[in-house]
Structure 1
Amino acid sequence: MARQAQAWCLGGAAAWLAACTAARGREELVFRPATGLAWWLAVWQMLDWHLGMAEGGDGRPRPRLGSADAITLARFWLVPAARATARSPAGFPLLIAAGGISDWLDGAVARRDGRTRLGRDLDTTADLAFLTAVAFAGRSAGRIPEPAFRLLVVRHAVGVGISLTAVFGRERRPAFRARPWGGALRFGGLVTCACGAEGAGTWLLGAGSVMPPRSTAPDLSPA
């Protein structure tokens, strides 16, 4: 599994360098090799440290990383691309849409193949990293209005606070996940804002941000 993770991460680094090369000469795309490679190295290290969590609800370790893990890692790969594409009229909305599709797809594949503790935590972390990167990049580029930005920040702050309280207060992993429709509304709101419809996008983002989480299977809730 460690070799598989290494191969995936080397492939991601090569893909980032290829994206940097393809973006040369296009003023609206600002891909920086060092930034993306540094981020990808951090993701690689995080994955390597947590490979022992690749086990199902029955506690049995999985021999390999799954397709859902690969899709989630692709969303991690998109994180530095948020800033790189923030001033691109078409690139930024497409990037957000790609992140949203990957969020739906990795969940569907994980349900089909069986969830793991590693996949659960990677998915949550990827969502937080990607949406935060999009929010800050979009706000800096004037693509996401201040109300929408604040809604997303508050949503994330509340989610992190609940998770920390559950982990340190009850000594167990919180058994809840964001509802799929909530995620779809948040991603849709960000895409709508990035396309210039700031009012409608903010309303969609607000609707997705107030949607409460749902409980998850108890066999994956312990730390």
Structure 2
Amino acid sequence: MKALLVGLVLTCQVVSLPGSDPGKKVGGPCEGCEAIHESPIAFDQLPSFVQLPGVTWEGKKPLGINGTVYKADGTPAAGVIIYIYHTDETGHYKAKAGAQGWEKRHGSIRGWMRTDANGFYKFGTLRPAPYPGHSDPAHIHVTIKEPGLNEYYIDEFVFDDDPLLTADKRRKLENRGGSGIVKLIDVGNMYKGERNIYLGKNIPNYPAKP
């Protein structure tokens, strides 16, 4: 019986990854990152493409943003979970009636994706507006959960043509996961943009290669 208990204890111990500090979270503190676990679909069943609530072509031009997620060694990263959320066209995080959990804070314009075998992801949405009365550029928040690591945030998606994205604000970007600046191209019925994500880039306490 004693041997069985010891075995159970050892089984439950957390094994730290090479080059990581088991006392620190990868990416540092991240309020709200746990919202990634509120996905209504099991992580292993998530598609690589998601259309966020409210998307319409009636009198509007939605955004279609895609990219590839790469591992630190430069190869495509499959099975990475991506959680995004943003304001509506008035600059507010509006939650639907009866919202629970982080949806009450993040609003209902949010979604989850899982990169495919080639590291590809894509989402469609309406362009968010900046916070009313603030100087922050319009943005899309993004949280990453890769296999074997805790969830962490990377630089928000921001838009190259946003007048609020000044030269000073560009210099201050941390480039967590690589640059989040997206150049939008008008393709007629919508705008398209691309952002590749580089796991570990400028991420505190990211495990070094063994």
In the superposition, the TM-score normalised over structure 2's length comes to 0.31
Higher-Rg member (1/2): 2
> Which fold has the larger relative contact order, with Cα–Cα distance below 8 Å and residues 6 or more apart in sequence?
2
Structure-1-length-normalised TM-score:
0.29
Determine which structure has the larger helix proportion and give its number: 1
Structure with greater strand share of residues: 2
